[in-house]
Structure 1
């Protein structure tokens, strides 16, 4: 029996493929490109799109912001919330997930913003929970450096707890709109939370009405053991990075085990694995496309600048044609680093970059025609056990051609095989769509 799986898309919203022949030459920063992408993803019945975020201008690669700014890697970017509003208003069924850092937003403001967004989008809003992983970001918010990763997760656990309590501070039926008695909301159904924790203190209640989902969908990415436990405790959907099919299965099984141990139904936690399809009219066309990408003069520096920004490790210090001299660790994105460095493989740094092929977070290689890639995605999901894929873009550059290849080529091939939905049927909210299968 064919089992459907979920599809989501992560929107790295630095400039589009501004140097490529199918880019816009630098899309205007008016949100039109973003809303075009959202409408195409909705037409293909994706569950949701994530609007990604970072809170700094990288300086890790070569000790300077030059590489990041020269190639527009990680920077510049807009605030995700107004973009999420624009994308949500342009669509009617697609889930819209904005990245909000626990470093940058007080819990009350996150809860209030998320509740407002969920009401505006008719129950389609999601919160991508991040702790931020860069000391440069911390310095933009009055800190010298980030706390250690385990402390960040401890803080995030408490942060999510208080946000959940704020969502629950209004009963679902608190708004009564009794015109005869002149009562808009029943004050007995709205309560302060009086939260006093180790890191946060919030009186509450929220001053927004209950939204259609009452709380938005929670999305979270975490590759470390601590990150997996956090995701299993809190997330409706997990963004996962894994090495190959076996790694994907082990990751999903581990998250589901954590969820079961704390009393959650593991089927309520949808693990979506990041992949970067490379599509062509023939398999050779797709492989040639991939080869051209990794052989471009800017490719090596672009990828190293990107990895440096995510991990806060200066990869300019290492020889390109030699293996990394030691296993690298970071207080930043350790999962991205482990996927990239392939410690123990003996590969030279240049080969590690080429192996990434621009898809630094691709869990499995997907190169070929839409039918070939769709068939492979079905085989992988059957082996892993579920729940779906999070599509990313080659070299983290997005253009309309790539979106068309995915939405008008790959997705129809998946739909013909009964692997993904052809129409939204479960309901109008993001959490309902995630619960559909």
Structure 2
């Protein structure tokens, strides 16, 4: 292992019909419900030594284009989506070392239920469970749970403070050694080591204790995508791993430095949390093919401006269908994903909306990675050297067995040969593997 190894994880955009309509995707539109491709994905990831898979989620069908679901349904845009905790369970059963991190929204699940689901996942995976904590971004999702709209952005994080405190206290409601399993006395559980939490806050109340028992990790790994000012502070306080997508090496470094500074000010060891940057590598056998694929991505975006804007609107809660494509982007506000919108507006500069969305959709998130396996491995090494760590989250728009192979059988071996990522797991549990380096 090199002096400065880094971590790898996979950002799976929902357990939906990935890459439908693209070549080399098999019969995904007929087989997606069985999750067989996603099980192939996690088996390949584990063979390649990834730290974890994060299963992104949403609990609504997009309607942020001409106030209609047509665009989203016809093109399979973030739909259909299955319950991530169920998919996480079968992923855990198909692996032995890979961390499994489903997304559960604070507005959609009661705190006790989240604590129980994630705690159970940690148990059945022998300490590989995690929780991607999100507060929600779309009013459409709120309507599915009987509300007219989501609370304001900053209030959602105020509520999440109480929510996560309940979860952490519930996970801690069983002391170590509570299960004694003493066959001589006939006592299974020492009742003096299981406690109520009696949490009473402004937004939530919970009595406890958790009835599903203690967790192998004690506390599961918490992932969080802190992009807004409020979100970054929340992530600095609670996250064990952070999903980050600032655009460009300087922004990546500034983000990580800021998070680590906040952690230090809070009394946390900044090395206890791993910031992983979203990337969309284009890996091919030759540079010509890789460059061609990158060009094709830009061509596709140019020919599908409406779809690209609809997808941005899906996450930002904005319907762009009435906006002038050839006018400057200007100022935009949202109660949805503020960091996603802020990054789009910042990168747009003086571009027109058309130019900005083409650049946005054809880009590679944090940093551009295009080339042969060895070239991309070198690009990743250089990025980590400048940023300081901690690793990358692979986010492919066309998840298929073919594209998975370009990463697990192409890119990862090149990284391993440079000593940049692990060749085998040193530990059985997720947190231990995150803290290995």
TM-score range for the pair, normalised by the shorter chain length: over 0.9
User: Where do residues 311-350 of structure 1 align in structure 2 (5 Å cutoff)?
Assistant: 311-324=316-329, 326-342=330-346, 345-350=349-354
Q: Distance in 2 between matches of 1:436 and 1:266?
A: 14
What is the aligned partner in structure 1 of residue 310 from structure 2? 305
Q: Distance in 2 between matches of 1:334 and 1:114?
A: 27
Change (3 A) 1:206 1:370: same
Shift of the alpha carbon at 1:354? Answer: 2.4
SS of 2:33's equivalent in the other structure is: coil
1:372 counterpart = 2:395: no
What is the aligned partner in structure 1 of residue 221 from structure 2? 217
SS of 1:328's equivalent in the other structure is: coil
1:389 counterpart = 2:392: yes
Query: Contact 1:133–1:332 at 8 Å: present in 2 too?
Result: yes
What is the aligned partner in structure 1 of residue 150 from structure 2? 146
Q: Distance in 1 between matches of 2:186 and 2:357?
A: 66
User: Where do residues 35-434 of structure 1 align in structure 2 (5 Å cutoff)?
Assistant: 35-296=39-300, 299-324=304-329, 326-342=330-346, 345-358=349-362, 362-393=365-396, 396-425=397-426, 427-434=427-434
Query: Contact 1:303–1:358 at 8 Å: present in 2 too?
Result: no
Deviates more, 1:379-388 or 1:309-318: 309-318
Q: Distance in 1 between matches of 2:44 and 2:363?
A: 22
Deviates more, 1:289-298 or 1:397-406: 289-298
SS of 2:133's equivalent in the other structure is: strand
Shift of the alpha carbon at 1:298? Answer: 5.6
Query: Contact 2:16–2:32 at 8 Å: present in 1 too?
Result: no
Cα deviation, 1:262-315, whole Å, max 9, x if unaligned, reads 111000010001111111222221111121233237632332121010001112
Q: Distance in 2 between matches of 1:288 and 1:300?
A: 20
Cα deviation, 1:154-197, whole Å, max 9, x if unaligned, reads 11011001110001110021000011111000000001001101
Normalising by structure 1, report the TM-score. 0.96
Shift of the alpha carbon at 1:358? Answer: 4.3
Shift of the alpha carbon at 1:70? Answer: 1.1
SS of 1:238's equivalent in the other structure is: strand
SS of 1:128's equivalent in the other structure is: strand
| Equivalent position to 2:21, from 19, 23, 27 | 19
Cα deviation, 1:33-65, whole Å, max 9, x if unaligned, reads 110111111111000001111011111112111
Q: Distance in 2 between matches of 1:86 and 1:226?
A: 34
Query: Contact 1:129–1:219 at 8 Å: present in 2 too?
Result: yes
SS of 2:251's equivalent in the other structure is: helix
Q: Distance in 1 between matches of 2:173 and 2:252?
A: 38
Q: Distance in 1 between matches of 2:412 and 2:18?
A: 22
Shift of the alpha carbon at 1:31? Answer: 1.3
1:31 counterpart = 2:35: yes
Query: Contact 1:323–1:349 at 8 Å: present in 2 too?
Result: yes
Normalising by structure 2, report the TM-score. 0.96
Deviates more, 1:244-253 or 1:10-19: 10-19
Shift of the alpha carbon at 1:343? Answer: 5.5
Q: Distance in 2 between matches of 1:21 and 1:108?
A: 43
Q: Distance in 2 between matches of 1:397 and 1:56?
A: 21
SS of 1:156's equivalent in the other structure is: helix
Count of equivalent residues: 432
In the alignment, structure 1 segments of 5+ residues that lack a partner are: none
Shift of the alpha carbon at 1:400? Answer: 1.2
Q: Distance in 2 between matches of 1:240 and 1:39?
A: 25
